[in-house]
Amino acid sequence: MRFLSRNIELYTFNSTINNYSTRYRIQLHKPSNALTIYQKVPYYEVVSVYNKLAYNIAERISQNKGFLTNLRKYLLAKAFYSVEEYMNDHSDR
């Protein structure tokens, strides 16, 4: 996530793909690629992890206001055991 916050210009938000104001506008657009090896690289994986974040944390990355601090507090409060457990959590959506 630190890579994402430092290199946000490498990613595309859904709001730049279409002009509609949807609830998914702050989510990152997932690059389409059929190769499994490409889908496992950190550049691609961070999109999935970011898109699962609660809205109030995810919106901070575009504002450059304490994204990593709030992310850390959130993850410590939830105390996920693994990335899989985090991805399967639906309590904040």
* Residues 6-41: tens digit of each pLDDT: 888 888 887 887 777 777 777 888 877 666 666 677
Q: Which residue has the tokens 């990613």?
A: 11
pTM of the model: 0.73
- 59-68: average pLDDT: 79
- 51-69: average pLDDT: 81
Sequence-distant (≥ 6) Cβ neighbours of residue 2 within 8 angstroms: 68
